[in-house]
Amino acid sequence: MTSYARLGSLSRLSTRSVQIRGLTTSAVLRNEATSNLGTVQVQKKPIGGFRGGIVGFLFGFSLASSFAAYHLLEEYQQASAVLQASVEELKISTEKVSAHVRRIEAVEKDLKALSDASASKEDISRVRAEVKKLYDGLHVEFLDLRTHVWGIQQDLHKLSKKESTEVRI
Q: Is residue 53 located within the same domain as residue 105?
A: yes
Q: What is the pTM of this model?
A: 0.39
Rounded CA separation 169/163 (Å): 17
Q: Is residue 114 located within the same domain as residue 148?
A: no
Rounded CA separation 151/157 (Å): 10
What pLDDT sits at residue 66? Answer: 97
If you ran DSSP here, which 8-state letter would residue 118 be given?
S
Q: Is residue 110 located within the same domain as residue 128?
A: no
Name the maximum alpha-carbon separation found in the chain: 200
What pLDDT sits at residue 82? Answer: 96
Q: Is residue 57 located within the same domain as residue 99?
A: yes
Q: Is residue 113 located within the same domain as residue 126?
A: no
| Beta strands in 27-133, from DSSP E residues, in sequence order | none
Q: Is residue 64 located within the same domain as residue 3?
A: no
Q: Which residues of 84-112 are buried (b: 16+ CB within 10 A; e: fewer)?
A: eeeeeeeeeeeeeeeeeeeeeeeeeeeee
Q: Domain containing 32: what range?
A: 1-40
pLDDT along the chain (169 residues), means of 10: 53 50 55 57 69 86 96 97 96 97 96 88 91 93 93 87 63
If you ran DSSP here, which 8-state letter would residue 101 be given?
H
Q: Is residue 57 located within the same domain as residue 105?
A: yes
What is the C-alpha radius of gyration for the chain, rounded to an integer number of angstroms? 66
What pLDDT sits at residue 148? Answer: 93
Q: Is residue 33 located within the same domain as residue 56?
A: no
Number of domains in the chain: 3
Q: Is residue 8 located within the same domain as residue 55?
A: no
Cβ neighbours of residue 61 closer than 8 Å, sequence gap 6 or more? none
